[in-house]
Amino acid sequence: MLKKSVIVAALAAAFVAPMAQAKETKELAEIREQIRQMKEAYEARLAALEQRLAQAQAQATAAQSEAKAAVATAQQADSNASAAQAQNSAPAPAQGAPAAPVQASSNAFNPDISAILGGSFQRLKQDPEQYKVQGMLPPGGETGPGAKGFSLGESEITLRANIDPMFAGQLTFALTPENEAEVEEAFIQTRDLGGGFNVKAGRFLSAIGYLNSQHSHTWDFADAPLAYQVFLGGQFKSDGVQAKWLAPLDQFVELGVELGNGANFPGTARNRNGANSVAAFARVGDDIGASSSYRAGLSLLRTHAEQRGWEEDGLAHAFSGKSTTFIADAIYKWAPNGNSSITNFKLQGEYFRSKDDGTLDYDTAPADGPLGRVYSSAYTGKQSGWYLQGVYQFMPNWRAGLRYDRLNPGARHIALVDDGTLAADSFAILQPYSPRKTSIMFDYSPSEFSRLRLQFAQDKSRPGATDNQVILQYIMSLGTHAAHAF
């Protein structure tokens, strides 16, 4: 029995051992296969994650580049806006930052270049060659309504750039309808002297008044108010130096003074050392709530004239002496919550008071000869004028405006010769008359770079000769252009 049991056990072991070994081999193979599959799946997932990581890194790099470009664009736009504040001396109220440079160049080695193209069609009832403003000393410069029919308006080419960390510069050429080119402005300007001080030197539009420092393409009407034409010859500019101080306050406070050669009307070129003209101005401004703001200012211009001549009825006359002009200006702006893109309103006005004190040389035509005789006598004239205008943007891109001008001949005195050669009523400047003008305009601006304007005006600058005017105008801006003043 024992022997049989041993034999059975041996036989069982002989059969069971191979079966167990086969089972173990199969389980190991399955485990190895599972490990292989897991490894392959892991490697596939790892490769996919690495690919996603590479794509995310590429997207992050692109986004970073776009963010840098956006920041650079914003900095350039901010520099452009700051340039207009420094150039035109009229930053938005409630800004107490120091005056900014003329403009940061987008290219460190080349100036920014801009061009203004303008043109008009005018239908005038009166002959523009006979235009004059009754009761005032005839002005010089750009006065009168211009030519009838089609006309190329004054175009401008401007180059501006930062010169170095301390200086910026600007050069503006004006191309007139008479095919003449002249230097409108050519100046250097400090970027920031500290303490709110900055200095400009060269040829520039004076900062007196409100409109004077602004180029004509930024005006709300096609022409300058009568007061600007009579008292400043259109616009007053001079070769000289200007110093301004912007107070470090929340409220806008600016003071300035200018010294120049005073070669333009109401002055004349004089062969002398030193300054022939002196100007001073002071301005304040601030916000009124979230939707309104204002700016107000006082200006004084004193200059000298030497044989400032004009012709009247074929006779030549000239004034020599001192000319003093006082200007008070104010502007109010409204836009809902400060957003002027849809609708806004602007009310603007200026008052002028001028005094000429000196001598008047006048020619007469005696009956016994064609040459006439020149007399010289003392002359004193105190005259004034003003304009008030409102412009309303009633929907995006569309505006309408109304302006009223009026001049007061004031008190004028000419010491007539004893023999009565010159009658008191023979001079238009002595005849009591108050010139006035009413203008209404509509304009459409498809973008900030273009404007189309229609203007109607009734000009009563002389008695008995009402000039009904219709003006069609276009203004186009090319290139990089600084932001406009407040």
Q: What is the average per-residue pLDDT within 352-361?
A: 92
Give me the sign of the Cα torsion angle 46, 51, 52, 54: positive
pLDDT per position as a tens digit, 261-312: 999 999 998 888 888 999 999 999 999 999 999 999 999 999 999 988 877 7
Residue 67 has pLDDT above 70, yes or no: no
CA atoms of 161 and 416, how far apart (whole Å):
56
Locate 479 and state its tokens. 């290139």
Encoded amino acid at 31, one letter = I
Q: Residue 242 above 70 pLDDT?
A: yes
Question: Which range (247-256, 317-326, 427-436) has the least confidence?
Answer: 427-436
| Chain center to CA of 475 | 14
- What pLDDT is stored for residue 97 in this prediction? 42
Average pLDDT over residues 233-259: 95
pLDDT at residue 33 is higher than 90 = no
Q: Taking residues 8-12, what's their average pLDDT?
A: 54
DSSP string, 138-168: PP-SS-S---SEEEE--EEEEEEEE-SSSEE
Q: How far apart are CA 377 and CA 364, in angstroms?
A: 13
Query: What's the rounded Cα separation, in Å, for the pair 474 and 479?
Result: 17
Mean pLDDT over 241-256 rounds to 96
Q: Is the pLDDT of residue 85 over 50?
A: no
Residues 441-467, mean pLDDT to the nearest whole number: 94
pLDDT digits (tens, 9 = 90+) for 137-150: 777 656 788 889 99
Q: What is the pLDDT of residue 23?
A: 55
Q: pLDDT higher for 46 or 75? A: 46
Contact 181, 172 (CB under 8 A): no
Q: Are 420 and 374 in contact (CB under 8 A)?
A: no
∠ at Cα 128 (122, 132), nearest 5°?
A: 130
pLDDT at residue 245 tops 70: yes
How many residues are recorded in the chain? 486
Q: Which pLDDT score, from 0 to 100, does residue 83 have?
A: 45
Dihedral over Cα of 439, 442, 448, 452: its sign: negative
Give me the phi and psi of 151, to 5 degrees please.
-150, 140
Q: State both tokens at 303.
A: 């200059």
* φ, ψ (nearest 5 deg) of residue 32: -60, -40
Quick one: pLDDT at residue 12? 52
What is the fold, at CATH topology level, of the domain defined by 118-153+196-479?
Porin (2.40.160)
β-strands 155-162, 167-175 pairing: antiparallel
pLDDT, one tens digit per residue, over 115-141 is 999 999 999 998 888 888 887 777 765
Predicted local confidence at residue 4, as pLDDT: 52
Q: Are 304 and 321 in contact (CB under 8 A)?
A: yes
Q: What share of the chain is helix, strand, coil (3-state, %, to 5)?
A: 20, 45, 30
More confident residue, 354 or 363: 354
Lowest mean pLDDT among 33-37, 42-46, 465-469: 42-46
Report how far apart, in Å, the C-alpha atoms of 309 and of each of 302, 305, 362, 371, 417 are: 19, 10, 10, 18, 20
- Does 356 have pLDDT greater than 70? yes
Q: What is the pLDDT, as a whole number, of residue 285? A: 96
Q: Quick one: pLDDT band at residue 14, thresholds 50, 70, 90?
A: low
Sign of CA dihedral 465, 134, 351, 247: positive
pTM of the model: 0.75
Average predicted confidence (pLDDT) for the chain:
82
**471, 457 Cβ separation under 8 angstroms:** yes
In the structure, what pLDDT confidence band is assigned to residue 335 with cuts at 50, 70 and 90?
very high
Q: For 383, phi and psi rounded to 5 degrees?
A: -135, 160
Three-state SS at 434: coil
| Spatial CA neighbour of 299 closest among 266, 272, 328 | 328
- What is the pLDDT confidence band of residue 388, given thresholds at 50, 70 and 90? very high
- Predicted pLDDT of residue 100: 44
- Which of residues 55 and 381 earns the better pLDDT score? 381
Rounded Cα distance between 224 and 144, Å, is 9
As a whole-number percent, the residues of the chain with pLDDT over 70 amount to 78
Tokens of 162: 């930062």
| Partners of 257 in beta bridges | 243, 280
Give the model confidence (pLDDT) of 169-215 as tens digits.
Answer: 999 999 888 788 899 999 999 998 989 999 999 999 999 999 999 99
pLDDT, residue 421, reads 46
**CB under 8 Å to 203, separation ≥6 — which residues?**
183, 184, 185, 186, 187, 237, 238, 239
pLDDT at residue 399 above 90?
yes
Q: What is the pLDDT of residue 177?
A: 80
Stretch 30-59: mean pLDDT: 75
